[in-house]
Amino acid sequence: MSALLDLSPCPTPWWLPERHAQTLFGALLAPTNRIRFFRDRVETPDGDFIDFDWNAPNLPRAPKRAQDAALTHTAATAWLDEAGRQALGLAPAAPALVLLHGLEGSSKSRYAQAITQYFRQGGWTVVVAHFRGCSGFANRLARAYHSGDSAEIRFILETVRARFPAGHWHAVGISLGGNALLKHMGESPQEVAWLKAAAAISAPLDLVAAGNHLSDDRFNREIYSRHFLRTLRPKVLKKAERFPGVIDTIRIQQARDLRDFDNAYTAPMHGFSDALDYWTQCSSKRWLAQLRTPTLVLNARNDPFLPEAALPGPAAGSAQVEMYQPAQGGHVSFVTGVWPGHLRWLAQRIETFFTSR
């Protein structure tokens, strides 16, 4: 059977009439609360670490100010101690959500704050898993993260399940995180059978189409690609200081779009021949038919990151997939309401899917 296709509208406000206004307002200006987290650092098998930010009903309320100066520029305000880990391990069964952020995102991102606030109000445990180098701390290795790292997604999912074994776990992937989540779920459907449901929001399902669009379209290149490179470039150049001769710093400095950056760093560092090889191998679109966990795949048809023509039709997904493709919403935005709007609609739509399964 094919996936369900839903084309019902997202009620975007009249004062955000098109894709770029919706995307930029949602990412930079939409109001959110300041959610605080407990930070849990977990060592990885290759000698690195991943930071998990927890907000759970069985944990005390995180303090307003960071107890450790190193956390000052993060959404975490305290480290999760052994008592906190034990509290999670012994907590009774309850709904839980692990959130995988997008490119250069974190628990400070507006969408992460809005989703965490909404689900916590409903009594859920929420944890934001940070990809390497995105938690406010440089990771230890020359490598970083990428759109199709199934081994990393496996480690993240296994870690949160082990921390809170009684949780009724759900997973949400945003943009890059959504693509990586879908790819892993399609490659290893039995490994993730314990997940109750999942959602991928604004995932670049066809990375070739998305990468070309972000690199070749002038507006996308000058606004979105430049925005991402503003943090990606200095991170990698600092890595090059710690790992001399491993990273082509000249190509990194000359990168003007995401194709340049992926050709110079992401692809060679993570085992791909070039950006096209990376994008082709890591696209999640071809794995949608293999999904066995109930999964919401939500993409606005006016998303400036992924051309509408690249969106999958219902035949591309299994019967466990619901493709929701509203005409409006932009990229990971979906702002609704009267001025100045809010970001609750996305979390509500995710919850509606989760609770119907």
- Sequence-separated (6 or more) residues with CB below 8 Å from residue 82: none
CA distance 350 to 201: 9
Q: Which CATH class is domain 4-205+284-355?
A: alpha beta
Q: For 67-77, how does the pLDDT look when each residue is reduced to its tens digit (9 = 90+)?
A: 677 898 999 99
Predicted local distance difference test score (pLDDT) of residue 198: 98
- Taking 90 as the threshold, does the pLDDT of residue 232 lie above it? yes
Q: At what angle do helices 344-355 and 110-121 cross, to 10 degrees?
A: 50
Q: For 254-290, how does the pLDDT look when each residue is reduced to its tens digit (9 = 90+)?
A: 999 999 999 999 999 999 999 999 999 999 999 999 9
How many CA atoms are closer than 13 Å to the CA of 3, on its beta-carbon side? 28
- Taking 90 as the threshold, does the pLDDT of residue 326 lie above it? yes
The SS3 assignment for 33 reads: coil
Q: What is the band of 61 on the pLDDT scale with cuts at 50, 70, 90?
A: confident
Structure tokens given for 182: 């879908």
Tell me if 292 sits within 8 A of 1, measured CB to CB: no
Predicted local distance difference test score (pLDDT) of residue 65: 76
- Sequence-separated (6 or more) residues with CB below 8 Å from residue 238: 138
Identity at 55, one-letter amino acid code: N
Instruction: State how beta strands 167-174 and 94-100 pair.
Output: parallel
- Taking 90 as the threshold, does the pLDDT of residue 33 lie above it? no
Q: CATH 3.40.50.1820: which residues of the chain?
A: 4-205+284-355
The whole-model pTM stands at: 0.97
What mean pLDDT do residues 14-31 have? Answer: 97
Residue in the structure block whose two tokens are 């997939």: 321
Structure tokens given for 15: 């004062």
Calculate the dihedral angle through the C-alpha atoms of 282, 172, 266, 258, rounding to the nearest 10 degrees: 90
Predicted local distance difference test score (pLDDT) of residue 1: 75
Q: What is the band of 48 on the pLDDT scale with cuts at 50, 70, 90?
A: very high
Q: What is the band of 335 on the pLDDT scale with cuts at 50, 70, 90?
A: very high
Structure tokens given for 124: 């859920």
